[in-house]
Structure 1
Amino acid sequence: MAANTSLNLPAEAAKPRLRKSLKLWQVVMMGLAYLTPMTVFDTFGIVSGISNGHVPASYLLALAGVLFTAISYGKLVRQFPEAGSAYTYAQKSISPHVGFMVGWSSLLDYLFLPMINVLLAKIYLSALFPEVPPWVWVVSFVAILTAANLKSVSLVANFNTLFVLVQISIMVVFIVLVVQGLHKGEGVGTVWSLQPFISQNAHLIPIITGATIVCFSFLGFDAVTTLSEETPDARAGDPEGHFPHRHVRRRYLHRRLVLYAALFPRYQPL
């Protein structure tokens, strides 16, 4: 009787694997794209009202907490270099039941975030081109992003790199305009000011409340860990993806927020 050789294959050899095609810079760019560098425009007014104009202080507080999470992710990805991120870590380090709940919660996160991004893109583009029906923007963005994701992860990484570079270019122009406005006496009238951090209206509870909202801006390291199985050496390389993108995000975002808060020191609802 002929032996069924397929049953004798090692489990690891039979297990399907993802193609390891991403380089470090692509992983970093994917993380930055997931953070959406221009998201501060979407939350600044809300958080400014809650924190009494101390948005940078709320971001600093949120950053302190998220850094510990990023360090933990960096260690866990060395132990479990597989796609799945928080789901895999909770399943293997705590219990399968906890992993199940974390997995479904993460799925909702991945469903809602693209919806929010498409909605925001529709709002901005509808304001620029009011003659175009809003549904056209929604369908177009969803179709383009779906096609790119179905093609390959490398195409998605390059696509995201383009988006990140465009956003950074816009923000550089914005920062130059803000600095010019501050030098002309607008806002607090100076580029360097502690008012966004310390003032008579600064109170801990409102700043903490604002920090719970701006955590939305620090989700990129989770996207980085979902790419663990698609990097050549996840055990050695993936934690390196956390900290370049975390460092770039911290320096870039916080400088922009300080200038933004200096130009608009007081929250004034419309």
Structure 2
Amino acid sequence: MNTKGSVLTRGLNARHIRFMALGSAIGTGLFYGSSSAIQKAGPAVLLAYIIAGAAVFMVMRALGELAVRHPVSGSFGQYASRYLGPLAGFITGWTYVFEMAIVAIADVTAFSIYMGFWFHDVPRWIWILAIIFFLAAINLLSVKVFGELEFWFTLVKVSAIIAMIAGGAAIIVLGFQIDGAATAGLGNLVNNGGFLPNGWVGLLAAFAVVMFAFGGIETIGVTAGEAQNPGKSIPAAVNTVPLRILLFYVLTLGVLMSLVPWDKITGETSPFVQIFDALGIPLAAHILNAVVITAALSAINSDIFGAGRVLFGLSQQGHAPAAFGRISKRGVPWLTVMLMTGVLLVGVVLNATIPEDVFLLIASIATFATVWVWIMILASHVAMKREIARNRLAPSAFPVPFWPLASILTGVFMLGIIVLLGVYPDTRTALYVGTAWLVLLAVAFKLWVRGDGRRRPDLIDETPPAAVAEQIPVAAAGA
């Protein structure tokens, strides 16, 4: 941190970033949102996670190449400014902040639902209010404290998932019955209306919730400005994405739907808790409820972190008030944390007024914002690759695989998700809200962004720092 208080502390080591990347795949979208996806697609939701996961991996590889070449605070908001223009950077950065705010409200909503498993008569908003102030205090401490907290949160989640898979596999082998339902076994994946019980229409409808589950994984790129060794830690985190998707989504949900028919999953609480509660195993449901609460806390913590760091980057570009660039003595952009705390208070109001409908509404809006940010990451990456080729610049140390075909197909897929949001009535509101948000940002840019915010798109160098390029072995260039 310099004397001007405008530089973030590089307090995140490889262990922190690896576990943050791991934890970003295990949150509300898996522990709670998966029930909605299962209800829409049945067992075929596994196919949706595989397809969406492949697309998300390509987005992460694109972001990884950008982040290793330019390890800056603000990440993809600055990349969009650099390669697509200031307006694109303004919209991308603020849409990510909007995404994190909406996702955080969904996460605190899920947290309050989990607490209801133990405390049926306590209003949801009370739990939300309490956790908001606790996590705000955590985020006002040093980034190292944040990284350590995420490490332990993730360790709990990963250990529980692995134990659940092992326990579920044992139950399947032993052939237990759950509350008189069908015997646990792989047959449950095809015996209740087939693998695709609601047809392709149901599978497509599930994509809105599935994409929400992956939202926030791009926080890996945000960590570049505070990573001690981004050239090693970012690629290591990105390359674990496919394994995480297969293990924590496909295998985990496959085990769950083998334990109990998919149409028995109600969505009233986490499907993990519901199934193990029905099994009658002493304390199993209570232990899993504690785990999903940990997952929610971790997700909210990351939401506050991600939004704050991008706001910091926007302030450096002249795309947000300069006050968001102020750093505390602990190296934390404190005003951005306070803003996110204020936004989360909206979650208190929503859960007090429309508790039954709030989650799906918020999740679909978050999906729009998430997918839009991913599209801008892909577009920024394409523009960077073209500039490298045009100006014969040094090649990237961490290039995307199957360029350019995979990037084009991923972009088309993401645009298709935006279209799908408008097709189904229960997610159509998200398309309206998202479109209005983009128009509002365009108007705001024209009215309020002046001077350096227009003339100087970013603070990124034309070529990658030699020190960063040297951090990756030459062999990685062929990845």
**TM-score above 0.5:** yes
Q: Which has the higher contact order (CA 8 A, sep 6+)?
A: 1
- Deviation sequence 1:115-146 (CA, Å, 0-9, x none): 22222111111221235554432122111110
1:114 lines up with 2:109 in the alignment: no
Report the residue type matching 1:227 in the other structure.
Answer: T
1:234: Cα distance to partner?
Answer: 2.3
1:13: Cα distance to partner?
Answer: 11
1:92-131 alignment runs, 5 A limit:
92-130=82-120
Query: In structure 2, which of residues 17, 29, 32 is the aligned counterpart of residue 39 of structure 1?
Result: 29
1:189: Cα distance to partner?
Answer: 4.3
1:35: Cα distance to partner?
Answer: 3.1
Report the residue type matching 2:249 in the other structure.
Answer: L
- Deviation sequence 1:60-119 (CA, Å, 0-9, x none): 111111111111111111232112232122111111111111111111111122222222
**Contact 2:13–2:229 (8 Å) recurs in 1:** no
What is the distance in 2 between the residues matched to 1:172 and 1:235?
A: 30
1:241 lines up with 2:237 in the alignment: yes
36-45 vs 220-229, which moves further: 36-45
Where 2:43 maps in the other structure, the secondary structure is: coil
Assess, with a 3 A threshold, how the Cα gap between structure 1 residues 269 and 127 changes in structure 2: closer, same or farther.
Answer: closer
What is the distance in 1 between the residues matched to 2:227 and 2:242?
A: 18
In the superposition, the TM-score normalised over structure 1's length comes to: 0.82
Partner of 2:455: none
Where 1:99 maps in the other structure, the secondary structure is: helix
Partner of 2:227: 231
Partner of 1:149: 139
What is the distance in 1 between the residues matched to 2:213 and 2:108?
A: 16
What is the distance in 2 between the residues matched to 1:139 and 1:46?
A: 26
Where 1:267 maps in the other structure, the secondary structure is: helix
Where 1:51 maps in the other structure, the secondary structure is: helix
Partner of 1:73: 63
Where 2:120 maps in the other structure, the secondary structure is: coil
**Contact 2:26–2:248 (8 Å) recurs in 1:** no
**Contact 1:53–1:261 (8 Å) recurs in 2:** yes
Assess, with a 3 A threshold, how the Cα gap between structure 1 residues 60 and 246 changes in structure 2: closer, same or farther.
Answer: closer
Q: Structure 2: which 5+ residue stretches go unaligned?
A: 267-479
Assess, with a 3 A threshold, how the Cα gap between structure 1 residues 156 and 38 changes in structure 2: closer, same or farther.
Answer: same
- Deviation sequence 1:3-43 (CA, Å, 0-9, x none): xxxxxxxxx99893221111111012222333334632312
CA RMSD after TM alignment: 2.9
Query: In structure 2, which of residues 110, 119, 129 is the aligned counterpart of residue 139 of structure 1?
Result: 129
What is the distance in 2 between the residues matched to 1:54 and 1:125?
A: 30
Assess, with a 3 A threshold, how the Cα gap between structure 1 residues 153 and 171 changes in structure 2: closer, same or farther.
Answer: same
Partner of 2:449: none
Partner of 1:172: 162
**Contact 1:62–1:212 (8 Å) recurs in 2:** no
Partner of 1:5: none
What is the distance in 1 between the residues matched to 2:45 and 2:143?
A: 35
1:191: Cα distance to partner?
Answer: 5.0
**Contact 2:60–2:238 (8 Å) recurs in 1:** yes
What is the distance in 2 between the residues matched to 1:29 and 1:215?
A: 21
**Contact 2:77–2:93 (8 Å) recurs in 1:** yes
Query: In structure 2, which of residues 180, 185, 191 is the aligned counterpart of residue 190 of structure 1?
Result: 185
**Contact 2:28–2:107 (8 Å) recurs in 1:** no
58-67 vs 232-241, which moves further: 232-241
**Contact 1:54–1:261 (8 Å) recurs in 2:** no
Assess, with a 3 A threshold, how the Cα gap between structure 1 residues 159 and 269 changes in structure 2: closer, same or farther.
Answer: closer
Report the residue type matching 1:264 in the other structure.
Answer: V
Partner of 1:7: none
Partner of 2:256: 260
What is the distance in 2 between the residues matched to 1:117 and 1:200?
A: 29
Where 1:151 maps in the other structure, the secondary structure is: coil
What is the distance in 2 between the residues matched to 1:268 and 1:66?
A: 29
117-126 vs 143-152, which moves further: 117-126
Identity %: 20
Q: Structure 1: which 5+ residue stretches go unaligned?
A: 1-11
Where 1:52 maps in the other structure, the secondary structure is: helix
What is the distance in 2 between the residues matched to 1:37 and 1:245?
A: 14
What is the distance in 1 between the residues matched to 2:217 and 2:37?
A: 23
1:200: Cα distance to partner?
Answer: 6.0
**Contact 1:70–1:242 (8 Å) recurs in 2:** yes
1:155: Cα distance to partner?
Answer: 0.9
What is the distance in 1 between the residues matched to 2:245 and 2:188?
A: 21
1:59 lines up with 2:55 in the alignment: no
Assess, with a 3 A threshold, how the Cα gap between structure 1 residues 132 and 205 changes in structure 2: closer, same or farther.
Answer: closer
**Contact 2:29–2:214 (8 Å) recurs in 1:** no
32-41 vs 211-220, which moves further: 32-41
1:147: Cα distance to partner?
Answer: 0.6
